[in-house]
Amino acid sequence: MAVSSRVLFLSFLSVLVSAVVGHGDKKFQNVTYDGRSLIINGKRELLFSGSIHYTRSTPEMWPDLISKAKHGGLNVIQTYVFWNIHEPVEGQYNFNGNYDLVKFIKLIGEQGMYVTLRVGPFIQAEWNHGGLPYWLREIPNIIFRSDNDPFKKHMKKYVKMIIDKMKEEKLFASQGGPIILTQIENEYNHIQLAYRDLGSRYVQWAANMAVGLKTEVPWIMCKQKDAPDPVINTCNGRHCGDTFTGPNKPYKPSLWTENWTAQYRVFGDPPSQRAAEDIAFSVARFFSKNGTLVNYYMYHGGTNFGRTSAVFTTTRYYDEAPIDEYGLQREPKWSHLKDLHKALNLCKKALLWGEPHVESLGKHTEAQVYENSGLRICAAFLANNNSRAAANVHFRGETYYLPPRSISILPDCKTVVYNTQTIVSQHNARNLKKSKVAKNLKWDMSPEPIPSVEQLPVDSRTPKELYGFLKDTTDYAWYTTSIELAPRDLPMRPDILPVLRVASLGHALHAFVNGEYVGSAHGSHDEKSFVFQSAVNFKSGVNHIALIGMTVGLPDSGAYMEHRFAGPRSVTVLGLNTGTLDLSINGWGHQVGLTGEKLKVFTQSGSHRVGWKNANGQGPALTWYKTYFEAPEGNNPVAIRMNGMGKGMVWVNGKSIGRYWVSFLSPLGKPSQSEYHIPRSFIKPTENLLIILEEEKGNPEDIELVLVNRDTICSFVTEYHPPHVKSWQRKDSKIRPVVDIVKPAAQLHCPNHKKIVAVEFASFGDPYGSCGSFFTGKCSASITKEVVEQHCLGKTSCSVPIERELFIKDNDACPDIKKTLAIQVKCE
């Protein structure tokens, strides 16, 4: 059977067995698939999806995030389900607050969008322990993610609980809900070989177990080449149009479950970037090669509140996504992808019903064409794969200009409506402005008690392993011991001091001798283990050593995660007259957590359980700080800038906004993260309690509360840019303009109904730079700013045509160059 006739036949069958209704009508929907696409209610769909994790934002933010995703051209939201927050204690479940999975899915459905539910239960996701609850490590004889009876027992129980909960709420498409896809496991191919036959059998078991739960929607496995029928294997990566070997059966569609919009960051990392042009190129490539679903991971990253981030992962998550950590659209990424979705939808009929073929247009250039002469449809993707040189190509009697490494989309095989490299949508820059209300903070301090063996008597010959000791209840554990030194044990020369050396498996450590701080050390994401060394002024007599061992999240990836370890493993004193002293088996006392944590000093009631005094300058290591602040003015997002601090945690009105670590510098000499998001829902109108636990020697005087906006918007458009994709529509099977004159133009639109109050930069000629830092080149039309002000001042949105006669009234100083129009305006 020919491809087109087979597709028509399968779709016809699907129509016969499906009720053709929207999921908002709460009626049954049939979700099937074939080798071309998913089929929902008998209808083929192009699906544009974005990952938004309910746990990484607040319920108050969810409606706006979902709405912005929808207006960005998405029709699917993808989320993981997080086992360790839903079942933190075996048999005790939590689906409240920002863990309310059901509410989140229902909100998506109310906005007419679909859901992909990634049940896991292992999810990685740079989430603490990869989503697996700590108590699972303590199940006898367990081996995670393998053909292991204890693991399979608990995994099946959890997955069934989640699926049953979705069924009870009628959230599957087969029940009229928004869930159209479900995922079991996650990128298992990465570690499968480590388990040999136990891994292969586990894949078969997991797939069969999931399908047996009868959700009546397709199941997927990402990065799983051997996903058994009927489970669909999908691609994760940056360039699945080039790297994906395809579905493992011809009757399965090509689905892309993770297109990474940047790269998650760990403490010590420099900024992570991925250009909007590169993302757009990868998506256009994938859809030109039979892809019909792409998911942006992440579309909104959000915040790792509390202790939820994985090992060394920053509190801010995928801030470079199309919607940033604060819920603001990052331009041009958000709009350039929105325009791409519009362009692909103009090709929808051809992509879903046309016959694909490839035409070579020359060296490094080609056309991917979808055509069906019977239906009179044709769409073409003209690609220039040369990353350095532009190309002029000839296609069906016309000449087309292709910038380096770009794809032009022609929904009718004639009209260019979009090019991946030429951004016609606006840009913006993020601004952080000090609050006028929440300022002049008055700080109090309360040092954490430093214990000794007198408070923590010896209970173990050696230091306890950190993961097993803490059981993921806190980041902190005390280790205490003591040594008695005679005067002759100590060096006799004043320029020589003994050295305390601690070899640790991770993640960080602070050391105190006789109650005094002597230093810190830490590992990194790539190398958790480290050695702490510091010269110490020991005294004659009994010396008390107190170490505070710390975790910075549990590991979230790799094989045999149940066999990872952390904490001090060897403690020695070097440089004594009597030689090196090994304290590893000296006898150690232990304590889980800090005294301040036990007293809950970060809450209003707990803050009264300790004594406070005025903070004046730099405080000692391991100190609690307290202040109150008024709600910052307006309704813009709020962040705290941790100037003068080192490492610790922050609470606002008893709610943790996560770990901070500004003393861990990137290779650029700057912190990986300096500002930390405080959701508006955490803030009261007045008397907001702000508590900081500073582990190092910090000074809170320069801490600032700032307001976040993206009110600086820009445009950077050239004469060779195509007109905006919204200039076109499909009518009567043809692509027709919806405006009188189809020309490139600078498009500007202020967020949140604000208006353009100032033109901060305008140049028509050869300007360069980026939004927030444009520069005039060698030639610029003198009246550019005046023209832009006439078109834009006082308006919420404006369009400035790219027309030479509009900007150049006399002689053109550089007539031989293609002109660029760069604009930067301020919205209020």
Q: Which residues are catalytic?
A: 187, 258
* CA gap 659, 645 in Å, rounded: 12
Q: What are phi and psi of 814, to 5 degrees?
A: -145, 75
* CA gap 393, 660 in Å, rounded: 52
Beta carbons of 21 and 41 less than 8 angstroms apart: yes
Query: Who contacts 749 (Cβ-Cβ below 8 Å, separation ≥6)?
Result: 426, 713, 796, 797
Helix, strand or coil for residue 11? helix
Question: Both tokens of residue 79?
Answer: 């989320």
* CA gap 528, 515 in Å, rounded: 27
Beta carbons of 695 and 647 less than 8 angstroms apart: yes
Task: Determine if residue 345 is left, alpha or beta; phi over 0 gives left, psi from -120 to 50 gives alpha, anything else beta.
Answer: alpha
* CA gap 392, 384 in Å, rounded: 9
**Residue 413 to residues 356, 473, 822, Cα–Cα distance (Å):** 13, 60, 31
* CA gap 820, 659 in Å, rounded: 44
- Closest by CA position to 715, among listed 763, 777, 783: 763
Report, in this order, helix, strand and coil percent for the chain, each rounded to 5: 20, 35, 45
**Residue 529 to residues 328, 469, 568, 570, 661, Cα–Cα distance (Å):** 38, 18, 9, 12, 18
Beta carbons of 323 and 273 less than 8 angstroms apart: no
Beta strands in 495-536 (DSSP E): 499-504, 508-513, 516-522, 530-535
- Closest by CA position to 364, among listed 412, 406, 308: 406
Q: How far is CA 416 from the centre of its chain?
A: 33
Q: Which amino acid is at 291?
A: G
Angle between helices 101-110 and 62-71 (to 10 degrees): 40
Beta carbons of 228 and 216 less than 8 angstroms apart: no
Give the number of other CB atoms < 10 A from CB of residue 251: 14
Helix, strand or coil for residue 590? strand
Find the distance separating the first CA and the last CA of the chain, reported in whole Å.
61
* CA gap 567, 502 in Å, rounded: 10
Give the number of other CB atoms < 10 A from CB of residue 786: 13
Helix (H) or strand (E) holding 280: helix 276-288
* CA gap 278, 263 in Å, rounded: 13
In sequence order, the β-bridge partners of residue 693 are: 624, 649
- Closest by CA position to 131, among listed 318, 309, 319: 309
